[in-house]
Amino acid sequence: MQSRIIYITGYGRSGSTVVDIALGMHPEVFGSGEISAMCRHVWRENEYCACGNRIKECAVWGPIMARWTQQYDPAGYFALQRAIEPLYAPARMIGGRKLGNFLAQSQALFSIMRDETGIPIILDSSKAPGRALALAHDPSIDLRVIHLVRDARAVAHAMGRAIPLDVARGIQKEIVPRWAMRTALRWRMYNSVAERLHAQLPAEHFVRVRYEDIARDPVTEFARISTTVGVDLSAIASLMAEGEPIVPAHQMAGSRIRMKGPLSLHYDDAWELEMPETARRQVEFVAGEQLRRYRYVD
């Protein structure tokens, strides 16, 4: 039987952690956070889970990883990730032993996760499109992809701000401010590769959603997501539409908002008021074609 994985792809600071938390409130969905970070640094550094415990002490992840690490080495999986998940990898990395090992080890983790939690559907919000392109090659995985986009100008504005290190609040490393031009280029590349997933999957297993639309009208957008992921999210969407908070569970990596307890989703228009004109024009210059395609500019 195929195992269903819901994957959120796209660029950073696009609301993937909020969507992970919201979908994770459904009893059949385990909102994992960014699983790709587990072997990259979360397990090694014993970082914090959204439940407030460090990952090795978390009642859910502790036993899952204890079982998985009996069979596999996190450093070995990380080495495979470095070959498979980067943006430039998918074109030359179709097939091969590394891909086989990556898929076998990923599947083993998913299988232990289902077994330990008793929850049938895993949500992975790793974002990296290369990871999803690899998972799409596994015939035993029923992959459902949410391509989450957010206005590149809002993303560039958010990334232009520094965030100091604060491990207990989920900031595992200092976040340095990034130039708008750099963010716009990377936003374009990530979203272009994410778009390729559309061709790798049955059309009904891929949906593109704008973060701003979810914030404004969760009922409509979650209905679209429900169709793609095969889970009825209407109850969660209604809660969100009424301004009720959504509650993090065991999202093991992602935005710092997962560490703050219940949260509500609102449209953040700070960039419209605060973003310097030069930075805005740079982003529109670099990312203009996709901004138009995603209906952010005319």
> Using CB under 5 A as the criterion, which residues of the chain lie in contact with Zn ion when the complex forms?
49, 51, 58, 250
Minimum CB distance to Zn ion, residue 59 (Å): 7
CB 267 within 8 A of CB 245: no
Which residue, 117 or 227, is less far from Zn ion as judged by CB? 117
Which residue, 51 or 136, is less far from Zn ion as judged by CB? 51
Which residue, 51 or 158, is less far from Zn ion as judged by CB? 51
CA distance 28 to 47: 26
Maximum CA extent, the chain: 54
Half-sphere exposure (Cβ direction) of 226: Cα atoms closer than 13 Å: 14
The DSSP 8-state label assigned to residue 205 in this structure reads G
Minimum CB distance to Zn ion, residue 53 (Å): 5
Which residue, 65 or 155, is less far from Zn ion as judged by CB? 65
Give me the residue label for tokens 């391509």: 147
CA distance 40 to 192: 24
Minimum CB distance to Zn ion, residue 64 (Å): 10
Minimum CB distance to Zn ion, residue 43 (Å): 13
CA distance 224 to 105: 31
Spacing of C-alpha 68 from chain mean position: 22
Which residue, 63 or 288, is less far from Zn ion as judged by CB? 63
Minimum CB distance to Zn ion, residue 33 (Å): 9
